[in-house]
Amino acid sequence: FLLGAEDEPGPLQKLLHVINRDHQPIIQAGSPVNLRELLSRYAKNTPNRQARVVRLLLRRYLYRESHVIRGPRIRSYAWSRRLVMDHPDIKNLIQRVAKERNKSEEKIRREVEKTFRHIAARFSFRTIKLMGWVCRFIWSRIYPGIDIGEEDLDRIRDAIRKGTPILIPSHRSHLDYLLLSSVCYENGLVLPHIVAGENLAFPPLGTLFRRCGAFFIRRSFKDEDIFPVVFQSYLRLLMRDEFPIEFFIEGGRSRSGKLLYPKIGVLGMIMDTVGHIRANRDILILPISISYEKIAEEKSYAKELAGTSKTKESVKGVLKATSVLLKRFGKVYIRVDEPISLKKEYTRLPKTWDVLEERQQKEILMGIAEKIIYGIGKKMLILPTGITAMALLSVGKRGVRLQEVQERAGRFDELLRAQGASSADSLSHGGWVVIQALNRFLGEKSIQKIEDEKGEIIRIEDDSRVTLEYYKNGLMHFVGHISMVASALLVEPDTEKAEELFLLQHYLLRYEFFSDPSTDTETLYREILPKLVDYGALEKTEDGYRCISRPRLKELAGLTQNFLESYLLTLRAASGYRARDISRKELPKKIQEFGKARLAIDEIVRPESLSIANIKNAIRAYREESILQFSIDGSGMKFDEKSLALYCEVLERLIYKSL
């Protein structure tokens, strides 16, 4: 009577909740109820009956609005564990694994419970309140503000009202884990449970993250029989209770600034649950972009792209990271794209999800993942650092005149806006934002200013081009394919022949840039040509198009030249190492070493071409096309010699015609 049952608190528990709770009131307004329209439906009923209908509807609406703020009831850890352990999938797992390993079911059960303990969150509002204060302090120290529009918050609120929201943000920084939860907390929204990498489960931060709603996943399920089943059962429980779920479809943080190729593992587990939700509820995916004016990890990313091994997360690393509190990183911008209804996607399936072949499931999941990545990319903002880095790196020269940088940044800005990119408020204040970004790069010693009789020259430090490339890449998904068309037209002025070169680049660089999945490649090419007319590079003629400004084509083509150099370097280096016993893991660093020598003798123009991320994507693309294959017996690599020669010849033409 005094303490109550586990799921039904008694008087003492209720009193403790009242004493300990956050007493700050939150006002949440829902959709209006049109009484005239409502009562017209019940015009034949008595006034008492009409009043009961209105009361029931208002109660339902009030519950829905309180759900937006409070969310579902937080179950205790013991309660959640019992629900997961009693699920038929877990019982079947215990029986199957016990039989396979020839162990008792009790031992396997203990192992399953240990796995659940490692995965599950331990949501605590006391910890949330503490972390809310900590985050407020951190953001006030390092950012002048976190910019999220009311429209973006409304999209999250609507998704909570309609069912289970799945928040999928871009992943640029470790701070991403805190940002969305912090924004939800400050705006009176239910906090999400976050799928976090197992590398963050180290003590004591793992315990803290669990209390903030994090639950942990392994990078790979290879040779795992227990972990994936327990993880999926826990995820299903959270989704059934309609907790918002946040996960990063790119997997890890993007070290290059580009949107990474999507990982569909968690998305597949979510899709498994869609068929079991209530008829009037939905699972809504919200693609979210997080744009940083300056990233806190830029130096560590540059080192990793140069070949340095990633430092394992630890308490020591966290303590060292507190040095960021002494710096300012500019604003952070959060934008939310239109939701993707998984219920609608489910209704389009040829068969029910569980009877589809694995190959069909992967194709459907990849289609949804491409929509998500495209939605995230659409909401990336034009920031001063990004547009200025594009203007600096669009040519391979070490120095560029300041006036040229400003003019080129203006042209790129217009092109990006024509592509649907939105601008941060700072870019509405005139051309001085380029100077502001240059001063920031100057303070970081990424560039130097040199003066002569004709004005200022911006000299780019070779070691800093990778860092500038990071900011440039944040906007490349808007213009990457336009750059490919420009490269093709520099080689083949005939638009029909140029289309073949564009299609080759589009396929080869498929892990670098994403386009609208609803637009086929041929249509994409035809849509780009008029944009080059608007840019001043082409003009429309009776027979088609002709080039009127090679410099304009070259500055556009220069945006993807480092990727083409990376892919050509990969072919040349791998071919040179063909007889050596080099493993797949060792090959990227060997290619980097090969590239450093070629950079020294100017066979490679752009130092950013040695990015380990580009090289790994190139190896993956060539292996999938069977141009490059590793021998099983460890005797080296094998090549499709005809394709090798073709790609080398085409890439050389695309690169050297753009110089």
Q: What amino acid occupies position 574?
A: A
Look-up: residue for tokens 């794209």? 337
pLDDT (0 to 100) of residue 612: 94
pLDDT (0 to 100) of residue 286: 97
Which of 537, 529, 539, 534 lies closest to 495 in space, CA to CA? 529
**Beta strand residue intervals within 208-322, DSSP E:** 214-217, 245-246, 282-292
Kindly tell me the sign of the dihedral angle through the C-alpha atoms of 589, 593, 599, 603.
negative
Question: What HEC string does 626-658 produce?
Answer: CCEEECCCCCCEEECHHHHHHHHHHHHHHHHCC
pLDDT (0 to 100) of residue 318: 64
399-401, strands of its sheet edge to edge:
399-401, 455-460, 447-452
The answer to whether 215 and 80 are in contact (CB under 8 A) is: no
The answer to whether 332 and 143 are in contact (CB under 8 A) is: yes
Q: Which two tokens stand for residue 75?
A: 């179950």
Q: How many CB atoms lie within 10 A of CB 423?
A: 16
DSSP three-state, residue 575: helix
* Helix ranges (DSSP H) in 457-608: 465-473, 476-491, 495-508, 521-535, 550-557, 561-576, 587-600
pLDDT (0 to 100) of residue 314: 66
pLDDT (0 to 100) of residue 119: 94
CA end-to-end span of the chain: 82
pLDDT (0 to 100) of residue 428: 57
The answer to whether 529 and 481 are in contact (CB under 8 A) is: no
- For 537, residues 6+ apart whose C-beta sits below 8 A from its C-beta are 486, 489, 547, 548, 549, 552, 553, 556
pLDDT (0 to 100) of residue 502: 96
- Which tens digit of pLDDT belongs to each residue from 443-476? 888 899 998 888 889 999 888 999 999 999 999 9
pLDDT (0 to 100) of residue 656: 86
Angle at which helices 384-393 and 465-473 pack, to 10 degrees? 120
Residues of the chain below pLDDT 70: 6-7, 21-23, 313-321, 425-431, 632-635
* Helix ranges (DSSP H) in 352-494: 358-378, 384-393, 402-418, 432-443, 465-473, 476-491
Say what the pTM is.
Answer: 0.92
Q: Give the distance, in angstroms, between the CA of residue 234 and the centroid of all CA atoms in the same chain.
A: 23
